[in-house]
Structures are given as C-alpha cells and as structure tokens.
Structure 1
Amino acid sequence: MTKPLDLKHVALSDLHISLLNMRHKPKTTKGRSNEPILDDILPSIRERGIRQPLLVRPEPTKDNKNAYGIIAGRRRYFCLQAIVSEGGEVGGVPVCIMNADDDAQAIEASIIENMARLAPTPMEQHTAFDKLSKKGKTIAEIASVFGITTRMVKQRLALGQLIPVLKQAYTDSEIDNETIFALTMATKKQQKDWFDLFSTDEYTPTGEQLKAWLSGGGCITVEKALFPMEDYKGTILTDLFGEHDQFADIEKFWSAQNAAISVQADEYKKDGWRDVFVGDIGRHFPRYDYAQRTKEQGGNVYVQIGDNGDVHFHEGFMPKEEAKRIDAILHKKPDADSNASNRPEMSGPLLEYMSLHRHSIARAHLLKHPKIALRLTVAHMLTSSGNWKVERDYQRTSKESTDLSLTNSRAEQELATERQAICELLEYRCEHFQLYQRYSSPFNIEDVFGRLINMDDNSVMRIMTFCMCETLKNESGAVEAVAVLTGAKFEEYWVPDDGFFDLLRDKSVLNLMVKDIAGKSTAEYALTDTAKSQKQIILNRIAGQGVENPSPNWRPKWASFPSQSYRGKGSVF
C-alpha cells in the first residue's frame, strides 16, 4: 500500500527546484532568463496566495539540511519569489512531501502535474522520459503511466539521437517539428552537414524535402516496394514519426523495383494480355485518351510509375483511335449492292422529323414502365449521358491534415467498401474503384443500361443509393436534412483528432469547450491561458490524465445532427 503524503507548511527559503522537475533548466540559453512566464497566475497568487500545495521531497543541500526539492509547482514557486522581491510577505508555503528515495515516482509526478497544467514541449517530454528510462522504466511502463502509446514514447526518446546544436535550435524554436523529426533519421554526420547548411543563407531542405535529401533523391517509403525486402541491398531509414520507414539508397530501390515490374509484366503477357507498356517514371497515364477493352478484346496493360515509387497497373485499355478503327471493322455491314449510291436515304430535315417523333413515342411509353425508367435513371447518374450532368463531390481541401483525417475516417472507409461492391455488381474493373471521373465518364450509357436491365430491383436501388451518396453536394442543406432523417450519429463515426485541434484556435470558444468538459471553475482558472494550454486540458480530460473521471466520449457541440453553437446562435452550418 502506498504511503500517504505528508502535508505541512515550510519556509520559502527551504525550497528549491528539484533536478527531477521536468521543467528544471539549470542553465540559461543565449542570454535568456530561465524564469517561466507568470502573467496568467501571478495576480491570483498575489491576491489569494497558494491554493494548491506544491509537490516536494526532502533534498538537503550543503547549506540547508531541511531543504526540499520542488517536483511540481515550479511556476507557483517563482510567483512567491516575485512577491518577495516586490516587498511583499510570504508565510509558510503549503507542500505535499513525497518519499525521498523514489526518483522514478518523482519524475512521473512532475510529468503528470505539468501535462495537466501547461503542455510540455516534445524536447521536455524527451528529457523526462529519458530520466525515467535511465531509472529502469521500460517503454511500455512509461506509456502506461501517462496514457500514451509506446510509439509516442519511442518518438520522444528518438530526439536523444540529435546532436546538441540541433537540440538547442529546436528548443529555441528555430527548427519546426516536421524537420526535427526527419533529422532523427539522419546519421550524426548528416545532422552536422545539415546544420552547417542551415547556418548559412543558402537553401536548406526541410520537412519532406529533408527526407529526400537524406536519401540522396526522392522520399520513397517501404510500402511502395513490389519486391521482397530481402531483395533490397541498401539501408532502411527508420521513421518513428511517419507511417512508414524509407529507403536510404534510391538507386538500389529502383534497381529492385524495376526488376519486380519486369517480372509482373511477363506474368501479364503469359496470362493472355496483348501487350504491357511501362511508362517513364513520373509520367501520368491519361485514361481519357484510352478506351476500355477486355483481355479477349485485345486490351493492353499500362504501367504508371510515380516519382514516389508508387506503381499502378492499368488493365484493359487501348488507344481510343485504335479502338475506333477496330469497332468500325467489326460493325461494318456488307453493302446489298456494291454499285448502290452512297447518298443517305433521308435528308437532314427528314431525319430530324423522324428522330423527334421516335423520341416522343419512347418517352410516352416509358411512363408505363417505371422499373425500366429506374434503371435508365441510374445509368444516367453513372455516365452523365445526354441531358444529364452529374459530378462526384471531391471534398476538396487545402489542408493536408484535413485530407488525412477524412481519408482515415470510418465514414470514408464505409464508402470505399461500398464503392468496391458497386463496381463488382456492375462487373467493372475500376482503378481505385472510382465510378466518377473528373473529366468524362469511362462508361457507355447503353452498356450500363444493359447491365442494369438484368439486375433485380434491390441491386439497382443499391447502386442508385451509392450514386446519390457520391454526388451529394458538400455544405448544402441537404447534408443536414439527410443526416437528421436517417438518424446519423456523429459520435459513432468521428473522434476529435490532431487535425481538429490543429485548426481550433479561437481562445473564447476553447474556453467554452473547457467549461463543457471540465466544469466552470476549471474554465475560469484557464481563462487567460494560451490556446495550446486549453487544448491540453481538453486532451487530458479525454485521455483521463490527472483526473478521476475521464471523458473519452466527449465531442464538441458542432459534432451532432443538427449541430449546436457555443455562442447561442443556433446551428453554425
């Protein structure tokens, strides 16, 4: 059983910042003061004093045998010192006294306290986690204590691989997160070479460009490989901050990748495809210049190779001009009389006359056959043929984080699964299973109509429903109406992620969210905190860090159908 903490009041002169405090900074950097920013809490402490005890442990010094080291409460300590320097008086300071022998427990307590109050930087987390690791804590144990993933712990510990000048530059906010994370993949020599370049006025690669610089070419991740990894004879750069590791030797990657493409091309030819055309690296395959043809109809396979190592095999295509020539030969009817005149049977006006009457009769008779009309409607929805123009909503966004969040969402995964099922129903081979193309439909309306005629009503309705889902316009009232009428539950499909919090910057709205999840008193205490600090309070409440009752199911008021507003103005959509 854990021994309860001792509560008492001690003199301010008996306190100092413990070396185990995660925010302890014994030295100044570039002439800056190590004292923390106190503007948000100093007025309150001047007026009311310390309301929450500092967390300390016995740490005698050479000059003071009764001294205590502060594990958590560094800013409150500096506030008391500021009051004394102003000529104010400070009585006994309330403290909770920990066991003096357990360094690991002290470090844990410091991290938990600081995470709950003021979000630590990645470098501060590295320092704290490194201390725990050196005290014998495993990566899994560190992750368990703070409710984070082992991957995040590994990421923070990886910052220890950086040379000192890079650590200092990152601490001084001279290097951004994406760049410093990429530098953890570099050798010590590469780190030094990069910093030497960074210290000049010349162009210095950062972010994704830096990853390419480290490998001497493009940034190619391991999941792009078509070959077994044992066929690659180069080095792999371990990327703890990305989804995939990357190839360090681009030439050796392409040597293995090209060999694998050649093997796959031979397999296609053995399987009966007329020919396989391998495109140049980085060249796009223009589908709109090609017609779809099956293997039996003489279709070819076209290989598209991206600069990033991605390879797509486009099966069943031939140039449109070639397809037209073949179609003309196959559908040409023999002349009844080789000497007959080539003059058309009807003049232009007569052809128009007959065509208009045929059109009217067909439409009138279609009124009596709703099932056929349903299938023809769906065929038009799929092909945008004739008087119909139907486009997919491409959900465009300029934010990479938004695109990533959307792509990985449960809703988009369900749509992708259904898209594949619809292609299979129609017996179409679709690259990435896209039924709608940006410029023109790859499908022929007569062909689609013929396929739908032979389907049962349920299958046709399923395809029609999917077409409507694909073409529903974003930011329209219809979106809200559909969600309400179908009983869609926002919380079943979405949780607040990094992309959401990165875009959330309004401090007044953030404070209302803090009030919503943590209560009025916490919101009032955090009213003047930075947006970053208030976000961390919300994240800690969701994760259950430093609180007895976590709120993992919390969602902002906007995440509902119909939505609610934080400022009492009805729906914001």
Structure 2
Amino acid sequence: MELKHIDIACLSVSPANMRGVKKAPDLTNILPSVRARGVLVPLIVRQNGSPTTYEIVAGKRRYHAALIVAQEEGSVEPLPCAIMEAGDDAAALEASLIENIARLDPDEVTRWETFTRLVKEGRSPEDISLTFGLTALQVKRTLALGNLLPRIRNLYRNDSIDAVTVRHLTLASKPRQREWLALLDDEEARPPMGHYVKAWLLGGSAIATNKALFDPAGYTGGIVADLFGDHSYFADADLFWQMQEAAIADKVEALRDAGWQDVAVMARGEAFHAWEHERCPKAKGGRVYVTKGHGGDVSFHEGYVTLKEARRLEQGGNVEKAVRPELSAPLASYVDLHRHAAVRAKVGTAPAIALRLMVAHAIAGSSLWRVDVAAQRGASDAITESVENCASEADFDKERRIALDLLGLNPDTPTVTGHAYDRELVPLYLRLLDLDDAMVLGILSIVMGETLEAGSALVELLGVQLEVNMASCWQADDALLELVRDREVMGHILADVAGKEVATGNGSATAKVQRQIVRDCFAGTNGREKRDGWVPRWMAFPPSSYTQRRGVGSVERWEAVAPLIEPQDEGEPEEGAADATDASDEQVIASEDEPVQQAA
C-alpha cells in the first residue's frame, strides 16, 4: 500500500465500488466535516490504465463531498489516497485505515503535540504516517502547527478559526502572527480569514516602513502615509527589496563576524519549520536561519541544526562547518548581470549563434523558456486515431526521425521538443554548433510544426501560403462521417460526393441513409461510382461553408486573416461564382421538405 495525495481531477469512481457508480450518495453526515477539516481518512484507489489517473474502490462519499466543497470554494486540495497493490483486499484496507485514524486524537492540536513528541524521539514524518495511516503531507501539515503562536493554536483547538486560516498562518512569521492577532482583538477591524490570509501575507505592493532593516531616510522611491500618519508604506516594492536584500547581506556578515559559522538565507516566502530542527548553541555548530516574508518582514532564527545533524551530534559527531562563499549574494548578482549584458550584446550581432541558441531553448527549455507541444488529442478516441494514422502525420514523423538522428536522440522519441526534464541545454546547443545552417533549419521546422497551435488563424494563413492540397494528403473516413449529425449538412455532402441528382432523389432520406450512400461512393460499392479526392469545404484551403448558419471555425478564422493577404489578381474567379454554387446546392436541400421517392 502506498499513501499519497492525488488531485481530485485524476480520480473517478470505480465500477467495483461497493456503493455503486450511478446512485448519488447521501452526504448529510459527512459534508459538514469535510467542509471544516477536509478529507482525513484516505480513499482506497487503484490505477485505471494510466499512470496519473485512479479509480476509487472505497471512499465514494468522501470524494463527492470534496467535489461539493470544490464547487463552493472554487478549488480543493489533493485528496489523501491509499493506492492498492496486487493482492490487496479493499475492505480490509479500508477497515485498517479507519482503525488507525480512530487511534488519533480528533483535536489536531493535541495530535500535533503527539507528533512533536514522536519526532523528538527520532521518528520521521514518514514513520508517523505509516503508523497512523496518514500521508506524509498530512503529518507535515500537523507538525507545521508548531510554527504558530500558542494563542493561535488554542483558537484552532476551540474551533474559533478554521483549518484553511490556520494552514496559511503557519507560513507567517511570528511578528505577522501578532499583527493578525491584533486585528482579531481590534473591535473596529476584521482579520483576514480562510484564503484571504494568504493574500494578506503576500502583502501586494504595499510594504509597511516598519519592515525595513535599513534606514527609510535613504529610500528614494516615495513613501505613502495614511491621513493620521500612523501607518506608512513603501510605494516602490522593487526598490524596497533591493535595499532590504542589501541590509540582510550586511546583517548576515555581522552574524558571521559574531562567530556563527553558518547563516542560511531562505528564499522569499519559504517558511522555517521548527519541528524539522533542534536547538543547538553557536559553539557546537548551530546556525542562523533567515526567513523573508512577502510582506517585507525578516526573521532570524538563531541556534538551530537539522534533525539529522542533531542525531549526529548525539552520537559524538560534528556539524559540517560551512565554508563562507567568496562572493556575497549582492556581489554575485553584480557580477552575473554585467557578464550577462556583455554576452547578450555579442549574441545580438551573431545570428548564426542566436539561431542555434533559440532552437536549443525551444527543444530543452529553460527557466525563461516554455514551449508546449500541440496536443494531437481529439474529442474522442476515434478522432485521435484518425489523425495519428493520416498520411500527413506519417510524412511529418519521417522528417521528425531525421531531426532526432541529427541531434543524437532516440529516433523513437515521440517529439523533438517537450522533453526538458531529460535534456540539458548546453550539450544540445553544442550539438547544434556541429550542424550546418540547413540542418539546423530543418530541425527548427520540425520544432515549429510540433508547437504550431491547432485551430489557430495562423494555420489558415499558412495553408494558403504553402498551397496545401488536402486531397493529396487526406481521404474521408468513418470518423468524419460519424461526426456529421446535421441532416442539412449531410445533404450538402451527399450532393458534393454523389451529385445533385442523387442528393435530390434522397432528399427525404434520413442522415443515416445519406451517410451510407456517401460511404458507397467512397468505396465504389452497391452500384455507386467510386469517388476519390473529395474534401469537405471546411477542410480545404481556403475553407468555405455549406450553409449560411456560420459556426465554422476554419471559415471564421480565414475571414479574419484574408484581408491581411494581398488582393487577388484580376484574372482569378470572382466571389460570386462560389456563391452561385452555394445557391444551387441550397435549392437541392430545399427539396427535402417535399415528398420524394427514394432513388435506388
């Protein structure tokens, strides 16, 4: 059995669920608890053919209650789940988990006290999760209550504040928690609750001047004060953080000069979890942890080591002495930015290098680059299969394999781009340097093809510019015909494929009968003349429609880009010719309302 949190969108009820799939569950006695505390007892799930999707064998009511909460609040956190392994008995697993949960204190604050004691005895969150049938994330969330002031914990214990409020307050520094309590005590103010706590903690662009470690007199960005002068704020958050970071760096240097062998500055917004550390004096290797809140507050947690280091000290070992870096963070930033500016100026005059850099970034990505592969998934499996097996995909795959070979990659890889997790940018760029421009442009063509958005106006423009002939690379299949459910449109297609005489003779026939006649024409069966090279109007370049009802995406996109192309030559056919054809077809379809004997 594996315990993990799974996004609710990846879950569905299994047909094997003992409560069934179709019958709506009674949530009367469970919904209030899920609203207040979330889902505590893990759902029993198993994979259903995909590595990321699961079906619920036990826990249907908890799942539906979570769905209602998600609709009410706009979102819901991933649900705790126990993933069944081969040979697992769902009923026994469910009973075991419920028994384990029953051993826990219902009061989460008391549970925190228990977990904290176990951690001090050497138990890891993973050990605790297995003992009580919880996920490691549930255990860590409970342990995070240790970041709260005692009064806030008591408010939570007494149900004076909800779980969402508490969860966000665990991210706040002690000064910010005191500010929140002050708002709670103020009869004329109202403290943020629930998800609003997070927005309050982030602070937006308004950062109070009392958060500054530097002298505000040196700040040149402007300060905004309220009418009474009780509160003032920095108007320029970016400038504030530049000066605040410099002040933090000075404070870090002062701490090191005072004998602290290591000062760890944490990322902005990252919380310091006391339960993951133990007190340790400076003389024995204790370090200082510096936390920075989004609201500008900075906290210094002096004299701590990690639990792992604490165990090592108990066994007579030592904490590894940190080596002071040669460059401070501000100095390193100065060096990096000036070197970046110099290199960027050179890249701007080296188009061949820039081309290879761009191709490498498009394939491998970076912290500033994200390129997504166009999803070739249709609204149904039949559509997806039709696209996968078409001649155009086969031609593109042939060129893709050539590109993969040039890059030294596995030719069976489904795409050239979209695999940043296992491709390094620098080696890829160096590989491209060994290829001539024609090869690099060939690879770029594949990357562009893979990342060209389907259903976009650009596809319409490119189809005309490249003179794409759909008849030479596509032929009608059942997937298309089965999707045509509109009788009027089916009549137009019948006229297109079998001729107006046949369409008129079968005007009163059902769409199913007309569809079969079209199939016979494509196959040349049942006495029908074989028809090759037919393309429906919506799929041609440029596209057009069969009716005046609109609602054809390709036509609407073409109408948007057509004015951007140069006007047609005088020798080309006028638009009226196509309109005349449409009018003729409309007359054929209009005859459907009259009683006509079905033609043989």
Instruction: Give the TM-score, by structure 2 length.
Output: 0.37
Instruction: Give the TM-score, by structure 1 length.
Output: 0.39
- Which has the higher relative contact order, 1 or 2, with Cα contacts under 8 A spaced 6 or more apart? 1
